[in-house]
Amino acid sequence: MTPQSDPGAPSRPADHIDSTEADPGETPVNQPKLGFVGWLRFAWRQLTSMRTALLLLLLLAIAAVPGSLVPQRSSDPNGVTQYFDDNPRLAPILDGVQMFDVYTSAWFSAIYLLLFVSLIGCIIPRTKHHFEALRARPPRTPVRLSRLAGYTERPLPVSTGSTSEAAAAAIDSAAKQLRQAGYRVEQYEVRGEPSVSAERGYLRETGNLVFHTALVGVLVAVGFGGGFGFSGQRVIVEGQTFVNTLAAYDSFNPGRFFTDTRLTPYKLSLESLDAVYETRNQDAIGQPIDFTAHVTVQDQDGEPEDRTVKVNEPLYTHGTDVYLLGNGYAPTITVKNAEGEVVFTDAVPFLPQDANLTSIGVVKVPDGMPEQLGMVGFFYPTQTELTSGAYTSSYPDLILPVLTLNVYQGDLGIDEGTPTSVYELDTSTLEQLSGGKTGVESIELKPGQTAELPNGLGTVTFDDVTPGAAPAVDVDADPDAAAADERNYAQSVPRFASFDIHHDPTQMWVLTFAVLILGGLLVSLFVPRRRMWVKAVTKADGRVVLEYAALARGEDPGLEDAVTGFADKHAGPREAAG
């Protein structure tokens, strides 16, 4: 006999150790098949559950981690190239799973879109249910309030009139006081006994919905901003000007829907870059304290406006945020050919290699010489010689600036139109003329000095840009004059600043949604959801008492105190026993 044929038998699964054997004559219970539509409905319910939304939010946070561990093509293309050079085996594997394009990868986008759909699926039915609950009347008063939290009772105060009139007046008074306390109230008759039902705390669910809706808003705003915004980088040397056009950027990363017509025309000039270094603390000599870029901004029809940019204080102008990313020195180098004609002159940014701004740079002279000329230079703001004989910089400011150059001749690889970095020199197709194993010493110059190029190719000058500086001295033609030359090097080498120019049309929307997220979260955490009842009850001995009780949705440590406090306020403190 089975549980189906014997209602008194214990109900156990068919594979339980104590289960009885099935009767061959009984029809087994078969669960209905879900079918295609059923499986779709099941998948949708799982996707739109709050548990799934939280899981996807956690996955999105985890998925964003690789974007900070490896360089991204959208923000650091040179870093990606360097990563491939440093990790030739690992880099292709990471590239195969889109680790260098995390935020535009298929798997990150899938998590992003699933989270978006999940939140929408959670919010819509909960919003509908919340609005229905706001319009509904508070629930009827339970019959037995003594089973609820914070239950207490007080004797019914009767001054004049009948007990029923006093009970009705007490319930009316309780309803008024509860309404003043922010409750929604409704009076009921429960088995001939007057009562009031009150509830409040729907703001908690409102805050919860605002939180999730604002989270969707952030996702939409970030996606929209990423599609229509852009970020670009530009290195500007003191005295130079940047014009906000597409061709003027050193590197540019547009959004998917960006067009160059969105670039607001204006120009940004770097007047000077002030650097402050630690000079008192012996353990931190030379550590940077502050960098300030003094710039001039001007649009097509306006007047120049003086502004400043600091590391943590970006400049907002013409719909773009201008960030100061880095800085260094840009030695001004002039190259003349054997006929004395200037074939190259420019302030060349040298990339810092350490905290004391020992820097490396490249000079490329494509025309005006018998063959193309390239030079790899090292710049030392305060030159110091190590015990090994190598040079280094002992302080980042211009105390004893020295520039050394290794000269190369041949094909620079720029005639084919293939893009090359201005900070790198491919020496595979070049002949080294000085430095290294050539037997010819590297060219060594201080600001205001000129030296001969190898093989009589011409001269190279390290220009002193100090206002009113003395003419350059030829170290080869007049070494005594070069040795006796005493200059103030404080302004001899211009600085450069590296700026990141960013445009995001949804910044204010993201800020607004972020504030709503924070506000909604605080409301949902600290606003309690409560229901409270007051009922006039006639006891078996004929006494009429007022019963008070409440119910909380979720944890509410102050619930019992709230009930006691209201009862004391409404009917007076409870009389001490005895």
Secondary structure (DSSP) of 160-204: SS-HHHHHHHHHHHHHHHHHHTT-EEEEEEETTEEEEEEEE-HHH
464 found inside a domain: yes
513 found inside a domain: no
The long-range contacts involving 43-52, CB below 8 angstroms and separated by at least 24 positions, are: 44/121, 47/114, 47/117, 47/118, 47/121, 48/117, 48/118, 48/120, 48/121, 48/122, 48/125, 49/118, 49/122, 50/122, 52/118
211 found inside a domain: no
398 found inside a domain: yes
Q: For residues 403-408, give the mean pLDDT.
A: 95
Of the pLDDT bands very low, low, confident and very high (cuts 50, 70, 90), residue 158 is confident
Contact 141, 147 (CB under 8 A): no
Q: For residues 370-396, give the mean pLDDT.
A: 93
pLDDT at 298: 93
Q: What is the CATH number of the domain that holds 172?
A: 3.30.310
Same structural domain, 62 and 104 = yes
Of the pLDDT bands very low, low, confident and very high (cuts 50, 70, 90), residue 197 is very high
Of the pLDDT bands very low, low, confident and very high (cuts 50, 70, 90), residue 421 is confident
Same structural domain, 94 and 55 = yes
Q: Answer yes or no: is pLDDT of 17 > 60.
A: no
Q: Answer yes or no: is pLDDT of 420 > 70.
A: yes
CA dist 112 to 19, 108, 227, 396, Å?
49, 6, 15, 45
4 found inside a domain: no
478 found inside a domain: yes
Please choose, from the candidates 370, 430, 386, the residue with its C-alpha nearest in 3D space to the C-alpha of residue 406.
Answer: 430
Same structural domain, 341 and 439 = yes
Q: Answer yes or no: is pLDDT of 423 > 80.
A: yes
Q: Answer yes or no: is pLDDT of 388 > 90.
A: no
pLDDT at 578: 45
pLDDT at 485: 73
Same structural domain, 386 and 465 = yes
Same structural domain, 190 and 65 = no
Q: What percentage of the chain reaches a pLDDT higher than 70? A: 92
Give the integer Cα–Cα distance in Å for 546 and 216. Answer: 48
392 found inside a domain: yes
pLDDT at 80: 86
Q: Domain ends where: 497, 518, 538?
A: 497
Q: Which residues pair with 188 in a beta bridge?
A: 195
Contact 541, 155 (CB under 8 A): no
Same structural domain, 339 and 393 = yes
pLDDT at 12: 58
pLDDT at 567: 92
Give the integer Cα–Cα distance in Å for 340 and 345. Answer: 13
Mean of all residue pLDDT scores within the chain? 88
308 found inside a domain: no
Task: Kindly state the tokens that stand for 438.
Answer: 């050539």
Q: What is the pLDDT of residues 481-493, one digit of tens each?
A: 777 777 889 899 9
Q: What is the pLDDT of residues 297-318, one digit of tens each?
A: 998 888 899 999 998 899 999 9
Q: What percentage of the chain reaches a pLDDT higher than 90? A: 50
SS3 114: helix
Of the pLDDT bands very low, low, confident and very high (cuts 50, 70, 90), residue 276 is very high
Contact 55, 94 (CB under 8 A): no
Same structural domain, 555 and 430 = no
Q: Residue 496's CB: how many other CB atoms inside 10 A?
A: 22
pLDDT at 362: 95
* Lowest-confidence region among 156-170, 219-233, 396-410: 156-170
Same structural domain, 349 and 492 = yes
Q: What is the pLDDT of residues 75-133, one digit of tens each?
A: 777 778 888 888 989 999 999 999 998 988 899 989 988 998 998 988 998 899 999 98
Same structural domain, 346 and 484 = yes
Give the integer Cα–Cα distance in Å for 144 and 192. Answer: 14
Contact 457, 443 (CB under 8 A): no
Q: For residues 195-209, give the mean pLDDT.
A: 92
**pTM as predicted:** 0.72
Same structural domain, 398 and 547 = no
Same structural domain, 547 and 409 = no
Of the pLDDT bands very low, low, confident and very high (cuts 50, 70, 90), residue 550 is very high
pLDDT at 28: 65
Q: How many residues does the chain have?
A: 578
Q: Answer yes or no: is pLDDT of 477 > 90.
A: no
Domain span holding position 425:
332-497
Q: What is the pLDDT of residues 495-505, one digit of tens each?
A: 999 999 999 99
Can you list the alpha helix ranges (DSSP code H) found in 485-535?
Answer: 507-526
- The count of domains in the chain is 3
Q: Answer yes or no: is pLDDT of 516 > 70.
A: yes
Same structural domain, 352 and 481 = yes
Give the integer Cα–Cα distance in Å for 564 and 574. Answer: 9
